[in-house]
A and B are shown apart, each in its own frame.
Chain A
C-alpha cells in the first residue's frame, strides 16, 4: 500500500507537472512575462520537461489482486509472476 501510495503521488505530480509546463509554455508564448520572469519560467519549464521525461521512462506497472478474506474483509495482494 505504501508503495502504491507513492506511485499515486508520483502520478499525481506528473499530472500537475504537465499542467504547469503547459501553463508556462502558454505564458511564454503570449509574451506577457517580464524578460527576467520569462527566463525563470523557461528554466522552470526545462526542469519540468526533464522530470516528466524521466518519470515517463521510469515507471513500472504494478498489479494487485483484490480478494475477500474469510472474515469478509477486502485484501490486496500483489499479482504473482506466474499469473502475469
Chain B
C-alpha cells in the first residue's frame, strides 16, 4: 500500500544492488576465508569460477585471470584453501559472491603444492622416464651454459672445465635466475643455445638458495624447454637435498654447477693417464709380438731340424732314388734283352739255316745211336767172356785150394795127385800143395774110406 504524504523513495534494482554492494564493502570489506573448493569451472578466458564451502554454508566465488595466472599451483575440487577475498554482489544475478584476490592452499605452502602438482603432471606425461633421457656426449666440443652472468655458478663451471678439459669451449647465455620472469628467461636461453647450433650439451643452473630463490627451476616453462631441447641438458641447481622439476626432466642431474661441469667433460689428467697407459701397452704389445715371432721362428727351426742334416738326408734319399731308378732301368733292359733273345730264338728255329742245323743234329743223333748200339754189343760180349772165364776159374783146382783145400801129391810136388788113401802106405813121402806154397810130409797111417 502506497501512501501519498510520505512518498517512499523508489529505487531501481541496480540502485539496490549498488546499496548492498556499498554496505558489504563498508561492513565486511576484504576478508580471509577458509573453505573447500567445489564445482570448479575454469573458463577459456582464464577466469575461474567455483564454490567455496564448509560444512554448513557455501558461497559463490570468482578468481579473475589476473589472479589465476600468477597462482603457482592449480586449484582443484576438494582442495582446502585460504583465500583473500572481497565480498560483493554479482548484480547480474543478484548473487552474493567472493572476489578472490589471493589463494593459498591449506597445509602445504603454495609453492610446495605447485611443485607437487607440476611434478605429478609431468610424471604422468612420462617426462621423467629414463628411457627418454639422452646420453651425454663423451667428448663435448662446445658446452652451453644458461645461468647468471655474474653468479657463482658460471665461475665454478669455468674453473672446473679449465681444470678438467680446457679443450671444450663455453657459450654462456646470461639470464636472471630468480625473480619475476626468470623462468621465462631460462627457457628462452635453452632455446637460444639450440638455435645457435654447434652446442653438444647444455648446463642449466645456479648456485644454492632458498626454495623461493630456486623457484624458477620448478616452473613448467623451464621443464618444457629442457624437454624440447635438441641437445642433452644437465641441471645444476645448487641444492643437495631436494630435487627441482628441472632435475627430474633433465637428461642428467648434478647437485652443483661444479658437479655438472665435471659430469659433462672427461678429466684431462685421467685422459693423459690413459694415453700414457696406451703408450706403455704399445711398447709391451710390440715386444710381445716380436718375442712371439721369434719363438715361432725357433719352433719352426726346431721342426725343420738341422738344415745340414736335412740336406744330407735329402742327398741320401736322392742317391737311393737314383740307384733304384738305375736298377729298374737295368732290369728293364735285361728283360728287354731276354725278350729279344727269345724272339731271336724263335726266329732262329725257323728258316733254312735251322733246317741245315737240324739235319746235322739228326745226323749226329744217328751217329750217337749207332755208337751206342756198338757199345752195347761190345759190353755184351765182354760180359759173356767174363762169365766163361769165371766158369773156367771155378773149374780150376786152384780155385779149391783158394777155399782151403789142399792137394796131395805122391813123392814131391811133381808126383801124381793122391785121391785114394789105399794107394798110400805109412812112411810114403807126399807133397802138400796149398793155394800158396807147398809142404813135404810123410804118411803115418792110412784108413780105408
Interface-facing stretch out of B41-49, B167-175, B410-418, B439-447: B167-175
**Chain B contacts for A52, CB-based, 8 A:** 271, 275
CB distance from B189 to the nearest CB of A (A): 8
**Chain B contacts for A35, CB-based, 8 A:** 289-290, 293
Q: Is chain B's binding surface mostly helix, strand, loop or mixed?
A: helix
> Would you call B278 an interface residue if the criterion is a C-beta within 8 Å of the partner chain's C-beta atoms?
yes
* Contact of A14 with B192 in the complex, beta carbons under 8 Å: no
CB distance from B187 to the nearest CB of A (A): 14
> Would you call B142 an interface residue if the criterion is a C-beta within 8 Å of the partner chain's C-beta atoms?
yes
Q: Is chain A's binding surface mostly helix, strand, loop or mixed?
A: helix
Complex CA distance for A71 and B185, rounded to whole angstroms: 17
* Contact of A53 with B174 in the complex, beta carbons under 8 Å: no
Number of A-B contacts (CB under 8 A): 121
CB distance from B28 to the nearest CB of A (A): 50
**Chain A contacts for B166, CB-based, 8 A:** 59-61
* Contact of A49 with B285 in the complex, beta carbons under 8 Å: no
**Count class of interface residues, chain A:** 35 or more
Interface-facing stretch out of B193-201, B238-246, B354-362, B419-427: B193-201
Chain B: residues with Cβ within 8 Å of the partner, total of: 43
Q: Can you name 17 extra interface pairs (CB under 8 A) apart from A7-B169, A46-B282, A74-B192?
A: A11-B141, A11-B167, A25-B282, A28-B281, A31-B289, A35-B289, A42-B282, A49-B278, A53-B275, A56-B271, A56-B272, A60-B166, A62-B169, A63-B170, A63-B171, A66-B172, A66-B174
Interface residues of A (CB under 8 A from B): 4, 7-8, 10-12, 14-15, 18, 21-22, 24-25, 28-29, 31, 33, 35, 38-39, 42, 45-46, 49, 52-53, 55-56, 59-68, 74, 76, 79, 83-84
Interface residues of B (CB under 8 A from A): 138-139, 141-142, 144, 149-150, 158, 161-162, 166-174, 192-193, 195-196, 198, 268, 271-272, 274-276, 278-279, 281-286, 288-290, 292-293
